Amino acid sequence: MTYRAPVSEMLFALRHVAGLDAVLGDDLTADDARTILEEAARVADGVIAPLNRAGDRHGTPLRDGAVTTAPGWREAYRTWIDGGWNGLSADPDHGGQGLPLLLNAACTEMWNGASIAFGLCPLLTAGGIEALAQHGSEDLKARYLGKLVSGEWTATMNLTEPQAGSDLALLRSRAEPVGDGRYRIVGAKIYITYGEHDLADNIVHLVLARLKDAPAGTRGISLFLVPKVLPDGTLNDLRCSGIEHKLGIHGSPTCSMAFGDDGGAIGWLIGEENRGLACMFTMMNAARLGVGLQGVGIAERATQGALAYARERRQGRAPGAQGTSAIVEHADVQRMLLTMKAYTAAARGICYLTAAALDAARGAEGQAAHDRASLLTPVAKAFSTDIANEVTSLGVQVHGGMGFVEETGAAQHMRDARILGIYEGTNGIQAIDLVTRKLPLRDGATVRAQLASLRRVAEGLLKDADPAYGHMGARLRAGIEALDRATSFQLRALASNRPETALPGATPYLRLFGLVQGAACLAQGARAARAALQAGDTDPGHAGRIALARFFAENELTAAAGLADTVMDGGAFTETAALALVG
């Protein structure tokens, strides 16, 4: 088996965790939403997923400057853009369908569950669309947005240089005005995803570079649109100079790019001079949620594969069983599978909540929703991708020796997932962003409001007092208190201008946040499932949703208090790290 988009689970999370119903109405009914997801699933399952292995095997060879994707990929991409999927939530003014980002989030999960190497291409294009739509001149928008929204052309982010990865202040690429509104760009970039490929007729590179006499550091960086094919149909002065030999996502080319071998690639400024970083963050923030959804997608795929194998493979005898049992009957295998499934669902909930907040930010709620999305984005990115590593590794483990053999496919998921915690801002940087930039939003009121929303879920659980919940209510309440303690600690450290106290605990703080928020998402789902059962709904999934939420609370959320302790008194190491890291 490859991948089947879990449409019912997605729809359940969209409605009962992320609040899709708030945007439903005459324009978009619940039936419409299901129809859209089912259509997307047909493409993800039937067109993209079967190509994932071929992408891994074939790679993306570079010959004479041209990069070739695996057989079948061009046709699949064409089918995909012909279905209008690239512009699902883009502005109708630019040819998009204007549907909620929340629905697009579910579809993004599907494309990436089918193949993260494939799903990565439109993810970059989406970032480019966002940057161009928000910061581009009318002229640039008119020339490029339509083709990018349709997916006929794709976009890239050209940020990284060998000496400038997480630290963009070290950028050296140069830009010089030609005088007619155009610029000439010269420089070398690395790790450019889909920097060159054969899926589209044109590639729109968004390139960070410095103007002459620009201030040093990040305040002297500008963003340029540098197309592979110029408006007059000639090729621009840029080329793919190499392809990385990577651990995973072999189906997607990771390129070194050379701009301006022959004097300078032609580009146009996006936004203002020296304000490129702001544009870049627009592009990156959109992409960060997308990367979180990649994590959810591949975790889902790994879980499906492990579960199918565990049902089939017979070894040993479970207590009380007659004869050999399918390994899904063994408690330790069940623990692995439930862990995989629960973390996947928890991360899905967090990512969908983030998308819903972005939708709400466009509506009446405005700034508060925008801030909520800002708060949740680093958690959606880092937690979902951390657990993608864990879940895909468990997927290998469930397969036993077969998991280590490449033909099985479980190992590919683990290899593919490993990039997710690194690109679009490493997960360490997400944690720093969460603590130093997002917690202080509105003087802490944003995170306090989020904690209040979590408490409402816990109170609901305790009020229901359903025996099927087990210790879920108590565990969630304790988890929220742990998150509250750690949050107060971090806010105090920041308020008294002691970043050196807040930073050491950033990563365990983000984990704690994700764990508690994820548990609350599952618990909210459990409450909705219970209510549905009581209302006579016969969906066989409801009892499982309650059981899964309970599993997560009783087996994983137990880590919350320990994480809070680590945040609050674990930071002593920064004083002695140099000692402990000798030798």
Residues 244-283 that bind its own copies (CB under 8 A): 244-248
| Site track 66-95 with its own copies (rule: CB under 8 A), x = hit | ------------------------------
Single residue of 1, 30, 405, 445 touching its own copies by CB under 8 A: 405
Please identify, using beta-carbon distances, which residue of 534 and 574 lies nearer to its own copies: 574
DSSP for 134-185, please give it. HHS-HHHHHHHHHHHHHTSEEEEEE--BTTBSS-GGG---EEEE-SSSEEEE
- Confirm or reject binding of residue 406 to its own copies (CB under 8 A): yes
| Site track 186-225 with its own copies (rule: CB under 8 A), x = hit | ----xx----------------------------------
Binding to its own copies, residues 508-567 (CB under 8 A): 508, 540-541, 543-545, 547-548, 550-551, 554-556, 558-563, 565-566
Whether residue 312 lies in the annotated active site: no
Per the CB < 8 A criterion, the answer to whether 390 and 511 are in contact is no
Q: Which two tokens stand for residue 440?
A: 């202080």
Instruction: Tell me how far, at minimum, the Cβ of 285 lies from its own copies, in Å.
Output: 19
What is the amino acid identity at position 35?
A: T
Binding to its own copies, residues 334-363 (CB under 8 A): 334-338, 341
- Long-range contacts for 365-368 (Cβ within 8 Å, ≥24 apart)? 368/446, 368/449
Per the CB < 8 A criterion, the answer to whether 410 and 396 are in contact is yes
**At 249, is the secondary structure helix, strand, or coil?**
coil
What is the amino acid identity at position 375?
A: L
CA-to-CA distance for 390 and 403, rounded, in angstroms?
14
Catalytic residue among 161, 196, 424, 556: 424
Single residue of 2, 5, 6, 187 touching its own copies by CB under 8 A: 6
- Confirm or reject binding of residue 571 to its own copies (CB under 8 A): yes
Instruction: Tell me how far, at minimum, the Cβ of 407 lies from its own copies, in Å.
Output: 7
| Distance from chain centroid for Cα 3 | 18
Provide the Cα torsion 310, 312, 314, 320; round to 10°.
70
Single residue of 71, 215, 316, 366 touching its own copies by CB under 8 A: 316
CA-to-CA distance for 76 and 514, rounded, in angstroms?
35
Please identify, using beta-carbon distances, which residue of 111 and 551 lies nearer to its own copies: 551
Please identify, using beta-carbon distances, which residue of 330 and 530 lies nearer to its own copies: 330
Single residue of 232, 401, 465, 538 touching its own copies by CB under 8 A: 401
Q: Which stretch binds its own copies (CB under 8 A): 95-103, 146-154, 221-229, 402-410?
A: 402-410
Per the CB < 8 A criterion, the answer to whether 312 and 304 are in contact is no
Q: Which stretch binds its own copies (CB under 8 A): 5-13, 63-71, 97-105, 233-241?
A: 5-13
Indicate the angle between helix axes 7-16 and 331-361, nearest 10 degrees.
50
CA-to-CA distance for 327 and 325, rounded, in angstroms?
6
Closest among 480, 481, 381 to 428, alpha carbons compared: 381
- Confirm or reject binding of residue 581 to its own copies (CB under 8 A): yes
Single residue of 82, 272, 500, 537 touching its own copies by CB under 8 A: 500
- Confirm or reject binding of residue 389 to its own copies (CB under 8 A): yes
Instruction: Tell me how far, at minimum, the Cβ of 106 lies from its own copies, in Å.
Output: 16
By annotation, the residues acting in catalysis are 424
